[in-house]
Amino acid sequence: MLLMLAGVTAYAQNNNVIDEVVWVVGDEAILKSDVENERLTAQYENRRYDGDPYCVIPEELAVQKLFLHQAEIDSVYASEQEILQEVERRTSWLMDQIGSKEKMEEYYNKSYTQIREMLRENIRDGLTVREMQRKIVGDIKLTPAEVRNYFNKLPQDSIPFVPTQVEVQIITQEPKISEEEIERVKAQLREYADQVNKGETTFSVLARFYSEDPGTARRGGEGGFTGRGELVPEFANVVFNLTDPKKVSKVFETEFGYHIAQLIERRGDRVNYRHILLRPKVDEKEIETALSRLDSIANDIRKGKFSFDDAATWISQDKDTRNNHGLLANPQNTTSRFEMQQLASFISQDVAKVVEKLQIGEISQPFTMTNSKGKEVCAIVKLKNRIDGHKATITEDYQRLKDMVMAKRSEEKIQKWIVEKQKTTYVRINPEWRKCSFKYPGWIK
């Protein structure tokens, strides 16, 4: 079989054309099938192109090749764990959209394994490009004066509208879990480990059926190649000390629950592993006890016996907020302000539903929620502040406006980099693919 040796066409043994090289960027080829696969995926992800997809897609792929070439030179790589997680998410999403695994295979005319490999390569490239872009724009610095000047020059109809935002404080209590329940979970995990060590089943099968970590269970418990700093210390101490891929670790505890783990492979300072997570179940009576205690705390705060700030500092069991008087922090913008959708996504839908009905300064009734560690906890919240939807102002929304200026400067720097990179990169486009209005006209020299 001759594959792209002539730089133009790929042939099967019966000499039927099965693919075609439509662009060459540096020493990298862009195939017609690459363009078609991207078009099919975009169709199911409801992505729209501003122009002819057969013009826009190959140019986007060509730009990607420029970044990937520079990433290779600069030794910039994407996280294997992030790649695996995104492959799983994208595969599941496509199957849901198309209807089934079989229909997905029919749609792409590929096997399930081939589709995952296609997605893996595309995702790896996309994440590597993102890391390379971050490196290119990493040295941009902005002063408050630059942000003010940008805002002052904005036409009134271009000033962004800021949706309603809230600031929320929280106090949590974790219902007590009985020793009997903890021992039950440990015994179950020891049983799983025993089955694997005796060869009665495989770790991955057990993980798919029983692990309570949804992010890895579907992959047979596989976490992907991970650095020590990416894991909580208790977990890292176990998986980085595993040496025999045929053996299973002893049961160990983290803030997420109880685990067993198995080494898959070690590469330098990164390991790939499998794990099974089980969480002890909370007794309903213990939940009622925690809710009752929070009800008493809320009533004492309302009576002025002590403040919500003090209760959050000394009574709350939420480690992430108690050192800040219970004030929730938005991980997206490093402030304490949340749009309601962000509150639901980053903290909890349960919290968002409760906060939506509160007045400023009001303390909620006790309720149950699932925290960021996947544990069921009881909570009360206080609406510290609500900022109604409004047009952005430099005093109220400085960070948002700074992010806008940073995005604009970053885009300008990226575009300038692409134009300069085009000048020093060999590009060849097949004649029938040249009749396009390209975003970057420097492709055709």
**274-296 pLDDT, tens digit each:** 999 999 999 999 999 999 999 99
Q: What are phi and psi of 78, to 5 degrees?
A: -95, 155
Instruction: Pick the more confident residue, 241 or 46.
Output: 241
> Which architecture, in CATH terms, is 9-137+428-440?
Orthogonal Bundle (1.10)
pLDDT for 14: 39
Q: Is residue 224 over pLDDT 90?
A: no
The mean pLDDT of 304-309, rounded to a whole number, is: 96
The mean pLDDT of 199-208, rounded to a whole number, is: 94
**Full-model pTM:** 0.65
Q: Is residue 390 over pLDDT 90?
A: yes
Q: Give per-residue pLDDT as tens, 147-182.
A: 999 999 999 998 999 999 999 999 999 999 999 999
pLDDT for 90: 84
The mean pLDDT of 358-381, rounded to a whole number, is: 94
Q: Is residue 445 over pLDDT 80?
A: no
- CB 211, CB 221: distance < 8 Å: yes
The mean pLDDT of 59-83, rounded to a whole number, is: 90
The mean pLDDT of 342-350, rounded to a whole number, is: 92
277, two tokens = 């997570």
Strands 28-31 and 17-25: antiparallel
Name the residue among 169, 379, 373, 178 with its Cα closest to residue 290: 379
CA distances from 186 to 141, 181, 257, 373 (A): 51, 9, 10, 19
Q: How far apart are CA 289 and CA 296, in angstroms?
A: 11
257: left (phi over 0), alpha (psi -120 to 50) or beta: left
Give the torsion sign (CA, 203, 205, 210, 215).
positive
Q: How far apart are CA 210 and CA 214, in angstroms?
A: 10
Q: Is residue 68 over pLDDT 60?
A: yes
Asked whether this chain's domains 165-176+282-391 and 179-278 adopt the same fold, the reply is yes
Point out the least confidently predicted range of 88-92, 149-153, 190-194, 332-336. Answer: 88-92
The mean pLDDT of 8-23, rounded to a whole number, is: 57
| Confidence class for position 3, pLDDT limits 50, 70, 90 | very low
| Confidence class for position 18, pLDDT limits 50, 70, 90 | low
DSSP bridge partners of 226: 271
- CB 415, CB 9: distance < 8 Å: no
DSSP bridge partners of 31: 21
pLDDT for 223: 85
Point out the least confidently predicted range of 17-21, 216-220, 278-282. Answer: 17-21
Q: What is the dihedral of CA 382, 387, 393, 397, to 10 degrees?
A: 30
The mean pLDDT of 224-234, rounded to a whole number, is: 87
The mean pLDDT of 73-97, rounded to a whole number, is: 83
Point out the least confidently predicted range of 96-100, 141-145, 149-153, 421-425. Answer: 96-100
Amino acid at site 351: V
| Confidence class for position 28, pLDDT limits 50, 70, 90 | confident
Q: Is residue 141 over pLDDT 90?
A: no
Tokens 């997570």 appear where? 277
pLDDT for 284: 94
Burial 92-120 (b: 16+ CB within 10 A, else e): eebbeebeeeeebbebbeeeeeebeebbb
Q: Is residue 13 over pLDDT 60?
A: no
Give the rounded percent of residues in the chain with a pLDDT score beyond 70: 96
pLDDT for 9: 42
Q: How far apart are CA 429 and CA 438, in angstroms?
A: 12
CA distances from 276 to 91, 93, 181, 183, 246 (A): 22, 24, 17, 16, 15
- CB 272, CB 264: distance < 8 Å: yes
The mean pLDDT of 391-405, rounded to a whole number, is: 90
Nearby residues of 261 by Cβ (< 8 Å), 6 or more positions away: 235, 238, 239, 242, 248, 249, 252, 273, 274, 275, 276
Give the rounded percent of residues in the chain with a pLDDT score beyond 90: 64
Q: How far apart are CA 260 and CA 172, in angstroms?
A: 28
Where exactly are the structural domains of the chain?
Answer: 9-137+428-440, 165-176+282-391, 179-278
| Confidence class for position 84, pLDDT limits 50, 70, 90 | confident
Q: Give per-residue pLDDT as tens, 252-261.
A: 999 999 999 9
pLDDT for 27: 85
**CATH class (in words) of the domain with range 165-176+282-391:** alpha beta
Q: Is residue 6 over pLDDT 50?
A: no
Q: How far apart are CA 381 and CA 165, in angstroms?
A: 16
Instruction: Pick the more confident residue, 43 or 292.
Output: 292
**CATH class (in words) of the domain with range 179-278:** alpha beta
Q: What is the dihedral of CA 321, 324, 329, 333, to 10 degrees?
A: -150
Q: Is residue 442 over pLDDT 80?
A: yes
Q: Is residue 11 over pLDDT 70?
A: no
